[in-house]
Structure 1
Amino acid sequence: MHYCLIDTELGCFGLGWSSQGIARAYLPGDSEHSVRQRFDQLGSETADWPAFIDEARQLILGYARGEVVSFEHLPLDLSAVSDFHRRVYGDILQLKRGETTTYGEIARRLGDVGLSRAVGQAMGSNPIPLIIPCHRVLASGGKTGGFSAPGGSDAKLRMLALEGVEDPRAAQTSFDF
């Protein structure tokens, strides 16, 4: 796997890829040194990248500036994930900017609401966050749910805010009986 780092207004992103497509992304929140160390265990840094990585870099820079971007046409390499996780990721790849869903709704669309926890596990092990928009998946009742990227749920809320989504926590307290 090859990788590159992207210095954005939000911090250091990292992208890793194979000949098949983008295989790994690290979101801002850790130091550049830490991101580089994690990638060094997987492959080598390079300044020579394919056209789809150059495009992904431009989209990520735009996203970090708050621009409306779409990652939907970028090639992804999900060969290292299970079939179930690929199905879950395929579902959330249909979500558009500013659109959210829940773990339960995804499980229902996959045919069994009992899969909600398994959907949550898939979100927690998403190898390409942002591009596979796991930040758009909430817990039931509009609760934020977890987020395994640096900054946890606060990072998830910042990403949703960039997309124009109101803080789900505000909706939880709006019925003050």
Structure 2
Amino acid sequence: MTAGYALFDTAVGRCGIAWGADDAVTAVRLPEESDEATARHLGAGADPSEPPAEVARVIAAIVDLVSGANLDDDLSWVSLDMNGLTDFQRAVYEAARRILPGSTRTYGEIATEIGLPGSARAVGRALGENPYPPVVPCHRVTAANGRTGGFSAGGGVTTKMRLLSTEQAVLGLW
């Protein structure tokens, strides 16, 4: 259940974050076509509110990361509320959180890491449903042979490439 949510400006546009009663992050949203759409995608059942100190710290870290100001922070310290997710989704998101800024992995590599080689498409589907970008950095996961793969956030692959460029990620040719 959402205790609150806030919208905030970043180098890629206006993002949103929602949190629960324990200040764990329940959702993060990259820019959508409008503030209303961003709030709707957060699943926010509350009015916008001033974020508590820990959530304000998360917002500041996201702003820094997407602007390229602090590529040393991988956001792995952010507390996420993963209630309602499947064990598979949790495993995929935890593996993705281990990818450092400026690095990429493939869907197949994530599948192998979580002990399910051959499930690259399922990994892609799970990342397409990621409720926490860029805290769970699904933009750092690419298709095989250097292809970008998809990106379900607003702006699609263009946003994915912008985030990777900001992080100075080295990609193969696609």
Aligned to 2:27, the other structure's residue is in SS state strand
Q: Does 1:76 align with 2:74?
A: no
Counterpart of 2:110? Answer: 106
Counterpart of 2:36? Answer: 33
Question: Which AA in structure 2 matches 1:22?
Answer: V
Query: What does 1:1-177 align with in structure 2 at a 5 Å threshold?
Result: 1=2, 2-20=4-22, 21-39=24-42, 42-68=44-70, 69-166=73-170, 168=172, 171-172=173-174
Residues in 2 aligned to 1:63 and 1:101: alpha-carbon distance in whole angstroms: 19
Say how many residue pairs are matched.
169
Structure 2 segments unaligned to the other structure (5+ residues):
none
TM-score, scaled relative to structure 2: 0.89
Cα deviation, residue 34, structure 1: 2.1
Structure 1 segments unaligned to the other structure (5+ residues):
173-177
Q: Which portions of structure 1, spanning 4 or more consecutive aligned residues, are displaced by more than 4 angstroms?
A: none
Paired residues of 1:56 and 1:74 also in contact (CA < 8 A): yes
TM-score, scaled relative to structure 1: 0.88
Residues in 2 aligned to 1:9 and 1:145: alpha-carbon distance in whole angstroms: 23
Paired residues of 1:27 and 1:149 also in contact (CA < 8 A): yes
Aligned to 2:119, the other structure's residue is in SS state helix
Question: Which AA in structure 1 matches 2:102?
Answer: G
RMSD (CA atoms): 1.6
Residues in 2 aligned to 1:123 and 1:38: alpha-carbon distance in whole angstroms: 16
Aligned to 2:16, the other structure's residue is in SS state strand
Cα deviation, residue 167, structure 1: 5.1
Paired residues of 1:14 and 1:25 also in contact (CA < 8 A): yes
Paired residues of 2:111 and 2:120 also in contact (CA < 8 A): yes
Aligned to 1:45, the other structure's residue is in SS state coil
Question: Which AA in structure 2 matches 1:156?
Answer: K
Cα deviation, residue 125, structure 1: 0.4
